[in-house]
Structure 1
Amino acid sequence: MSGAIIQFKNVTKQYDNDPPILNDVSFEIERGKFYTLLGPSGCGKTTILRLIAGFTEASEGEIVFNGKKINHVPANKRQVNTVFQDYALFPHLNVFENVAFGLRIKKMKNAEIERKVKEALSFVNLSGYETREIREMSGGQRQRVAIARAIVNEPEVILLDEPLSALDLKLRTEMQYELRELQRRLGITFIFVTHDQEEALAMSDEIFVINKGKIQQSGTPTDIYDEPINRFVADFIGESNIVEGRMMEDYRVEFVGREFECVDQGLNKNETVEIVIRPEDLEITTLERGKLQVRVDSQLFRGVHYEISCYDQDGNEWLVHSTKKATVGDKIGLYFDPEAIHVMRHGETEEEFDRRLEAYSDVEANGK
């Protein structure tokens, strides 16, 4: 069955007279996808998770699950399970009993409990660990136990509240792949909370970028990375070079005192805009070939590339990711394709932004 499983309709969450934690938020979650709520601490992403789980109630608006309003439905009556940041496992129970806990509350028969627990542990590659004590498990294994405990109840949605944040980098990367594959195998909806943009890009079907209680932009990882709607999204998702510019006409933009060909259209002539060029889209070249002439200020080796900081004659900083090594103090050229320029309109809503993208697609389909 496809379609929206969760809907937020103009949801606000506010405590007393404090500023709203969530402010008039609306979105839909489709069945069977991996969603990520991404944003800085305090932006409202965990509050969304708590509202879905039933741990708190909305101040205004409607929360709909499978077509039914659930604002006042208690947490234990919702078809969702939560995996917490600290896993919330019972240290006095072994692995089997931790996973079986919810089933025993439901007074399920022992044979059925055993079948379901073994099946859930098999899903997370922990077969044979049934009698292991929680204190004897590694961080990654505890993570899997928490996920097994969530899926054994056969929820329609699993909520994950920064469950990888306590793991070291190597294990965290491994668990990203495992979680993504687990979601695909189960075919149920995962809603994952993180402040780590690389994690969000690697794992998600859809990302909601949240700041100050509002969804700034939603879309696929590729859409959000390639077409950020505003400075916050461009800065938060990856690294960006952002400068002020002016739209001369369709497909022509001015910044750093020069005009350049671009692929954007549908803006007003002479409209003030912001220009984004990603560091990996800047190519080190000769001064003559370069569309920008800059002086190298610093350079760091990042393993797969050099991170090079440069400044143009107007004092704008340009960050470059390149496999070519530069020399600090040298003057170099930077080349970029028209497609590398992304134009952001001040104050544009996501709906207006989407209409502009559709216009680009129409132009591409009909030939520029």
Structure 2
Amino acid sequence: MTTPIIEFKNVTKKYDDTLVLNEMNFTIEKGKFYTLLGPSGCGKTTILQLIAGFTDITSGRILLNGEKIDHLPPNKRPINTVFQDYALFPHLNVFENVAFGLRLKKVSEKVIVKKVEEALAMMNLSGFINRDIQAMSGGQRQRVAIARAIVNEPDIILLDEPLSALDLKLRVAMQNELRQLQRRLGITFIFVTHDQEEALAMSDEIFVLNEGEIQQSGTPIDIYDEPINRFVADFIGESNIIAGNMLSDFKVVFAGKQFDCVDQGLRPNEAIEIVIRPEDLVLTEQHQGKLQVTVTSQLFRGVHYEIFAVDSEGNDWLVHSTKKASVGDTIGLEFNAEDIHVMRLDESEAEFDKRLEAYEVS
């Protein structure tokens, strides 16, 4: 079995009395692109700081290639960081910014020139070698920061929201460049973002964080198609989340109706929430769909219409469709059993027994 490159074992981090990370456990494998995804204050940047050695853990252990690294200062770890503000030296040109880490290691000038030229070529910056940093655009500075990180040939590159300052078009272009660069180099990338689309587009694996805990980890497809709870379903993409009951295996009740689904193994009549993604709902004529809803508003998003509707039980629905609807119309919604994802509620045994008894009486 291959030893993970990074392991967190019951890692807790507190700042004074504020709990930032709560007994966190996870592993990072070599050569993959990982994303830490979550809202501001969820602990994702703190994880990077702990891996880099910029701050100390309160309790637990962090292992690098199977060895504890608590005693290692940042400059002794085979890790480089690309910061949100790039942290470039404004008084140095492009070459000297990229060469800075190599000079600290007292690498020979011949090797420095060779490595810097190679790193800049990877980032399509060969013609900017003597350029003043302050004369470069945001996208170019970001490439310089990445070149400075990869020139040291680290085992791990940490990226703390490095694309957040870029405009949308450049940001999308850089997402692709970063992903291709990681695959070409085979270096482990750990990327921090609060942008769900960015995480889905770039990652081999995503850790979804909230309030200092990992809510769910998995591939982008796993996270999107099989959210484990309401937070993940709501945070990753757009979702219709509707209260319901698991009638039996492969049978679910919501919006006042019974539907076939693909889930099983829950208790009879267990309280659940179901998730159906807006793009999985198909507009039909009123009496042809599994559900009938009334359109309340509509927005044009370019590639699709964003249609808001409500059913007879008062549940709100969001539909993404290339078809246009009219406000006030009653329309049908069609979907497949595979489009219904069932999420368990955090319900105590006492609550369940009480509700089940009421259900059986009725």
TM-score by length of 2: 0.95
Structure 2 SS opposite 1:269: coil
Structure 2 SS opposite 1:99: helix
Q: Which residue of 1 aligns with 2:309?
A: 310
User: 1:125, CA displacement in angstroms?
Assistant: 1.1
Q: Which residue of 2 aligns with 1:166?
A: 165
Structure 2 SS opposite 1:4: coil
Alignment CA distance shift 1:182-1:226 (3 Å): same
Aligned residues: 347
Alignment check: 8 A CA contact 1:57 1:72 kept? no
Write the distance in 2 (CA, Å) between the matches of 1:247 and 1:71: 48
User: 1:16, CA displacement in angstroms?
Assistant: 2.0
User: 1:2, CA displacement in angstroms?
Assistant: 5.3
User: 1:129, CA displacement in angstroms?
Assistant: 1.2
1:7 matched to 2:36? The reply is: no
Q: Which residue of 1 aligns with 2:142?
A: 143
Write the distance in 1 (CA, Å) between the matches of 2:267 and 2:137: 57
Structure 2 SS opposite 1:93: coil
Q: Which residue of 2 aligns with 1:285?
A: 284
Q: Which residue of 2 aligns with 1:338?
A: 337
Q: Percent identity?
A: 73
Alignment check: 8 A CA contact 2:48 2:158 kept? yes
TM-score by length of 1: 0.93
Q: How does 1:72-151 map to 2 (within 5 A)?
A: 72-151=71-150
Structure 2 SS opposite 1:135: helix
Write the distance in 1 (CA, Å) between the matches of 2:283 and 2:17: 53
**1:27 partner amino acid:** F
User: 1:257, CA displacement in angstroms?
Assistant: 1.2
Q: Which residue of 1 aligns with 2:298?
A: 299
1:54-105 CA-to-partner distances (Å, cap 9, x unmatched) read: 0001101100001101122111110100000000000000000000001111
Alignment check: 8 A CA contact 1:209 1:215 kept? yes
Could you tell me which runs of 5 or more consecutive residues in structure 1 were left unpaired when the two chains were aligned.
349-368
Alignment check: 8 A CA contact 2:256 2:313 kept? no
**1:34 partner amino acid:** F
Write the distance in 2 (CA, Å) between the matches of 1:136 and 1:273: 56
User: 1:49, CA displacement in angstroms?
Assistant: 0.4
1:219-256 CA-to-partner distances (Å, cap 9, x unmatched) read: 00000000000000000000000011100111000011
1:278-300 CA-to-partner distances (Å, cap 9, x unmatched) read: 00010000122111111000000
Q: Which residue of 1 aligns with 2:244?
A: 245
Q: Which residue of 1 aligns with 2:53?
A: 54
User: 1:3, CA displacement in angstroms?
Assistant: 4.5
Write the distance in 2 (CA, Å) between the matches of 1:72 and 1:302: 52
Could you tell me which runs of 5 or more consecutive residues in structure 2 were left unpaired when the two chains were aligned.
348-362
User: 1:17, CA displacement in angstroms?
Assistant: 1.9
1:63 matched to 2:55? The reply is: no
Q: Which residue of 2 aligns with 1:153?
A: 152
**2:116 partner amino acid:** V
Write the distance in 1 (CA, Å) between the matches of 2:23 and 2:94: 42
**2:6 partner amino acid:** I
User: 1:123, CA displacement in angstroms?
Assistant: 1.2
Q: Which runs of 4+ in 1 moved over 3 A?
A: none
**2:120 partner amino acid:** L
Alignment check: 8 A CA contact 2:308 2:318 kept? yes
Q: Which residue of 2 aligns with 1:354?
A: none
Q: Which residue of 1 aligns with 2:16?
A: 16
**1:219 partner amino acid:** G
Q: Which residue of 2 aligns with 1:42?
A: 41
Q: Which residue of 1 aligns with 2:358?
A: none
Write the distance in 2 (CA, Å) between the matches of 1:11 and 1:42: 17
Write the distance in 2 (CA, Å) between the matches of 1:24 and 1:110: 46
User: 1:201, CA displacement in angstroms?
Assistant: 0.3
User: 1:266, CA displacement in angstroms?
Assistant: 1.0
User: 1:334, CA displacement in angstroms?
Assistant: 0.5
**1:72 partner amino acid:** H
User: 1:108, CA displacement in angstroms?
Assistant: 1.1
User: 1:128, CA displacement in angstroms?
Assistant: 2.1
1:90-136 CA-to-partner distances (Å, cap 9, x unmatched) read: 00000000000011111111111101100111111111211000011
**1:316 partner amino acid:** N
Write the distance in 2 (CA, Å) between the matches of 1:295 and 1:72: 62
1:194 matched to 2:182? The reply is: no
1:35-63 CA-to-partner distances (Å, cap 9, x unmatched) read: 00000000000000000000001101100
